[in-house]
Amino acid sequence: MTHPNVVYVFSDQHRAQAVGYMGNADVLTPNLDRLREESVHFSTAVSTVPVCAPYRASFLTGKFPLTHGVFVNDVHLRHDVPSIADAFHAAGYDTAYIGKWHLNGRGRSAPIPREDRQGFKHWEVLECTHDYHQSRYYADDGTGAPDALGAKTWPGYDAEAQTRHAMTYLKNRRQRPRPFFLVLSWGPPHNPYDTAPERFQARYRDRALTLRPNVPNAMRPQAEAQLRGYYAHITALDQCLGELWQTLKAEGLEQDTLFVYTSDRGDMLGSQGQVRKQRPWDESIRVPLLMHYPARLGRDPREVTAPLGSPDIMPTVLALAGVAIPSSVEGRNWERHLVGGAPPPSEAALIACIHPFGEYTRAQGGKEYRGLRTDRYTYV
């Protein structure tokens, strides 16, 4: 088979319930809704350890957190097994990463050396920030020395600027014979919730919202206020995604590109009286996951209800692209199910919280857990 291009887009803390195509009439996601109508929709995609860095490490290595060793934030991911970028590079791909990294663990504003980039060559990255209007990054096009001027600053709202750079990357591919693997990693809709561009915040300022019924009365005012900003971020990202998708079409790349949208984990936002991540409930563990690849998956909408976990993403993406899966990978390959109609490779996905931290410490009620998410239940 001819190797397709791969564009993998993911956001930070976007729960599965916060999209229009999941029946949420409050949040405005017209582009995601249209993409769902031409894609495979994984309705039970699960963040195995619903924390930023553990998800990213599983995406890059195809391994479970107890194996790759990243089960809290701000620790270093070893480069001791082939990463997803290494696998693509070995198959003749150009590799690129734009946006948030959060796997170096050696300072959130420090530059990341090439040997710690897990095989990515084109590089416009910062370890981590949630100051979306004063967001910095380090640039390296992979052909020479990194930018000697040090950190640059994304103009305006960083997700929009990062998307523009990703669009430029796509436009520059027309005359290049090699396929490419491009990752675009956005920081929103992670809190702070009130920092989306004003034109998106204005769309929710007076909009009536329906809270999930598991939000206790005492938390409803806080949850409603936060949802307005959370949804504003999501609508801003939805516009960015639409512009990126349109660029793929305009450049003649869409038919032979595997285009993915997902997130690293969800956000409780008051459900069960809880906030943020790490919790075992659906608002924390379930994420959107759409795979759009007209040449192999067609354009008819399809739903996969069987649970897919974070380590399954690397082998599935590699297999759909016709790239060899490294023997170190622990996740399950869903390609035969997606393309050939074979049974799903699993009936459940692992969920875990190995070491509570941050706003979920033991002193604050946090608990370790192990569990399974089936297509209907969570056992934890």
Residues labelled as active-site residues:
52, 102
Nearest one of 119, 128, 59, 63 to 95, comparing CA atoms: 119
118 φ/ψ sector (left φ>0, alpha ψ -120 to 50, else beta): left
* CB-CB neighbours of 260 under 10 Å: 22
User: β-strand 40-42 against 302-304: which pairing, if any?
Assistant: parallel
Residue recorded with tokens 């480069």: 79
The two tokens of residue 223 are 């949850």
Helix, strand, coil percent values for the chain (each to nearest 5): 30, 20, 50
Residue 2 one-letter amino acid: T
Say if residues 198 and 153 touch (Cβ distance below 8 Å).
no
341 φ/ψ sector (left φ>0, alpha ψ -120 to 50, else beta): left
Contacts of residue 221, Cβ cutoff 8 Å, sequence gap at least 6: none
Residue 91 one-letter amino acid: A
Say if residues 223 and 269 touch (Cβ distance below 8 Å).
yes
Q: Which residues of 48-76 are buried (b: 16+ CB within 10 A; e: fewer)?
A: bbbbbbbbbbbbbbbbbbeebebbbbbbe
Q: How far is it between the farthest Cα atoms of the chain?
A: 58
Nearest one of 153, 212, 148 to 17, comparing CA atoms: 212
Residues 189 and 68: their CA atoms lie apart, in Å, by 26
